[in-house]
Amino acid sequence: MSRARVGAYALWQLRDYLKERGLSTIIVAALTAYLGLSTMTEAMPMPRPDDAISAELLVRFGSIDAVYTARMAEFNFHFTRSILGALVFLGALFAMNGIVANDRKLGFFRFLFAKPLTPSRYYGQAFMVHWLGFMVVMTLLGMSYGVVVSPVLTAPLLAVVALMFLAYAGIAFLLSAAARWDWLSLVVVTVAATFFWSKFGRSTHPLAKLLYLLPPMHRVDEVYVAVSGTPLLSAAPAAPVPWPLVGWLAGYGAICFLAGLLVLRVRRLAIV
């Protein structure tokens, strides 16, 4: 018996991700960042070292360099907070769109799974590779922003990006394994979860417990705010990363991913 070399096939899967999805993620992320920067700089001009500064700020921070650093941190905070959520969501959407469903719809599964290969192993690995690819893309984007504007990458930010990707991508993976219109389903789940949690999250009605079947998407902003840096000019203290909430979201995604693998174990591949 000779099994498929699925592990070695990961390099092909990574190549596929970078060519077909990573590039689109970079283009859309760059456009989103550009539009975000354009809009933001109208209200808050990007700080420059030679900007005139008020005496109050000079007194507060002690030196011109420290004022510039504080203004840059404030700018980065607002910029990162405004686009990070969208980038992670779109990145997950691009990475998972049709990951299983396309092969089923287009019939590519026929040659693939005539080989000594299980669908759960193949697509489980594809999920992991796309996750890795997404992190490579996000790291490159963060580093590019760091070169052009100012460094923003931190370990907590990367960890949160990875875990929030898992939250969205896990749901998308399950939907792709179980249904045809996975990307649309992910948008519907995200919007519905946000809506129902916002509307009924504080209800004491027994049925409100059913909300726990949905991910707490209405609180994702808390997560992104916490890793967007410290707004040094604002009076508000920096919020710590709400790790239990991140764990809840990522755990939800992980459970969905495992459920997706289970679906692939039991569900027949041909679409009737």
Partner 1 sequence: MIAFDHVGKRYRSPFGREVRALEDFSIELHAGEVFGVAGPNGAGKSTLISLLLGYLGPSEGTIRIAGLDPRRYVEAHGVSYLSELVNIPPGWRAEETLKRYALLAGVTADARDARVEAMIDWMGLGEHRAKRVKQLSKGTLQRLGLAQALLREERVIVLDEPTHGLDPVWTQRFRDVVTSLRRDDRVILIASHNLDELARLADRVAIIDHGRLQRVVDVRGVAEPNGGDRTPYRISLARGVDLLPAVFPHARAVGQGEYQLDGLTLDEVNVGLAALLAQGALVAMVYPVHSMLEQQFREAVGIGEESS
Which of residues 44, 106, 184, 192 is near partner 1 by CB under 8 A?
106
Which of residues 18, 40, 117, 158 is near partner 1 by CB under 8 A?
117
Query: To the nearest whole angstrom, how small is the minimum distance from the Cβ of residue 211 to partner 1?
Result: 30
Which of residues 116, 156, 201, 247 is near partner 1 by CB under 8 A?
116
Query: To the nearest whole angstrom, how small is the minimum distance from the Cβ of residue 110 to partner 1?
Result: 5
Specify the stretch interacting with partner 1 by CB under 8 A; choose among 102-110, 149-157, 192-200, 241-249. Answer: 102-110
Asked if 112 touches partner 1 (CB under 8 A), the answer is yes
Asked if 110 touches partner 1 (CB under 8 A), the answer is yes
Token pair of 217 as six digits:
């998407």
**CA pair distance 164, 171, nearest whole angstrom:** 11
Q: Count other Cβ atoms within 10 Å, centred on residue 20.
A: 11
Query: To the nearest whole angstrom, how small is the minimum distance from the Cβ of residue 91 to partner 1?
Result: 21
Q: Are 90 and 32 a contacting pair, CB within 8 Å?
A: yes
**Residue that is written with structure tokens 């289970």 in the block:** 262
Specify the stretch interacting with partner 1 by CB under 8 A; choose among 48-56, 80-88, 105-113, 201-209. Answer: 105-113
Task: Provide the residue type at 176 as one letter.
Answer: S
Asked if 3 touches partner 1 (CB under 8 A), the answer is yes
Asked if 115 touches partner 1 (CB under 8 A), the answer is yes
Which of residues 8, 43, 59, 155 is near partner 1 by CB under 8 A?
8
Query: To the nearest whole angstrom, how small is the minimum distance from the Cβ of residue 6 to partner 1?
Result: 7
**CA pair distance 110, 11, nearest whole angstrom:** 21
Question: Cα separations (Å) of 206 from 36, 198, 203, 209, 211?
Answer: 42, 17, 8, 6, 10
- Count CA within 13 A, CB hemisphere, residue 159: 11
Rounded to 10 degrees, what is the CA torsion of 18, 21, 26, 30?
Answer: 170
Count of positions (residues) in the chain: 272
Touching partner 1, residues 23-82 (CB under 8 A): none
Specify the stretch interacting with partner 1 by CB under 8 A; choose among 48-56, 87-95, 192-200, 263-271. Answer: 263-271
258: closest CA among 164, 165, 127?
127
Residue 18 or 46 with smaller CB distance to partner 1: 18
**Contacts (Cβ under 8 Å, ≥6 apart) of 11:** none
- Contact residues: partner 1, CB under 8 A: 1-6, 8-9, 12, 20, 106-118, 122, 268-270, 272
